[in-house]
Amino acid sequence: MTIIEQSNDRVTLERIERGAGVAAWRQIADQLGEEIRSGQLLSGSQLPTEARLALRFGVNRHTVRRAIRALADEGIVRATQGRGTFVEQSPIAYHIGTRTRFSENVLRSGRQAGGEILGAEEIPATADLAEQLRIEPGQSVLRLRTRRFVDGTPVSLGRSHLPLPRFAGLEDVRRQAERMTDALLAYGISDYRRTRSTVSARPATPEEADLLDLAPGRILLVVHSVDVDLDGTPIDAGQACFVADRIELHFGED
């Protein structure tokens, strides 16, 4: 190996094996993958730039880019537009029961929860939504679209459907509230419970992959749920799409 100086940083040059029957990008992906598994590259840490990796392995940036794309496809790293590429963090245990709360699940794992509203709109209830919410088909409901984070990494996209006029203006209240639980308290709901949770899996759409910093086609776990207030009246028919290798779903009583 040869040590050189570049921008005051030491760079170790490693020449990949030519003619070894293994493509250069695959050798680079395997080497970086081994460094991640061994702990040399820590969970959540940022990978060196493409330019530095190209210098290290003596290849062009296109070859490095293909290696990183392979690692992203395998769920080992996460490429973020404008920020760089990061080692995926270990998945958190997410408990689903009668009192499922995103923030509590994340805090229980010793991580930091975050979220944002992506959009809100009033739509007529479909027959399926009307049945879940126990309202008439065509009645107006508020659709709230959200994105949630763990330690700054996007882990899920959500769609909540709440009956109107009961929850009129909730999108504005939710933007000011730290948690959905706090927003619902403004509507007189001191607590609520989940009566239904079903899970399926499917590939992420291109839009979902972009919002979740995923390689196209990565798998999402889709949780459909219905929450009711303490009187048993449905308040939300929702859907949450979790990145499969960032969350471990655990079912059971709270």
Q: What is the CATH number of the domain that holds 229?
A: 3.40.1410.10
Same domain, 147 and 80: no
Same domain, 83 and 155: no
In this predicted structure, what is the pLDDT of residue 102?
Answer: 85
Do 229 and 148 lie in one domain? The reply is yes
Check whether residue 83 and residue 97 sit in a common domain: no
Domain boundary among 68, 87, 106: 87
Residues 9, 68 within the same domain:
yes
Domain boundary among 62, 87, 112: 87
Q: Which of 87, 105, 131 is the last residue of a domain?
A: 87
Find all residues with CB under 8 Å of 243, minimum gap 6, and list them.
Answer: 154, 155, 156, 212, 214, 218, 220, 221
Please give the tally of structural domains in the chain. Answer: 2
pLDDT for residue 12? 55
Angle 16-19-23 from CA coordinates, rounded to 5°: 65
Residue-wise pLDDT tens for the chain (254 aa)? Answer: 333 334 444 555 566 776 567 889 999 999 999 998 888 988 888 999 999 999 999 999 999 999 999 998 888 888 877 788 989 888 888 888 888 888 888 888 888 889 999 999 999 999 999 999 999 999 999 999 999 999 888 999 999 999 999 999 999 999 998 889 999 999 999 999 999 899 999 999 999 999 998 888 889 999 999 999 999 999 999 999 999 988 888 887 55
Range of the domain at 121: 92-251
State the CATH number of the domain containing residue 71.
Answer: 1.10.10.10
pLDDT at 253: 59
What pLDDT does residue 1 have?
35
Cα 6 to chain center, whole Å?
36
20 and 55 part of one domain: yes
- pTM, entire model: 0.75
Q: Do 118 and 224 belong together in one domain? A: yes
Q: In the chain, how long is the greatest CA-to-CA distance?
A: 73
Question: Does one domain contain both 83 and 113?
Answer: no
Q: Are residues 31 and 113 in the same domain?
A: no
Residues 52 and 126 in one domain: no
Same domain, 75 and 98: no
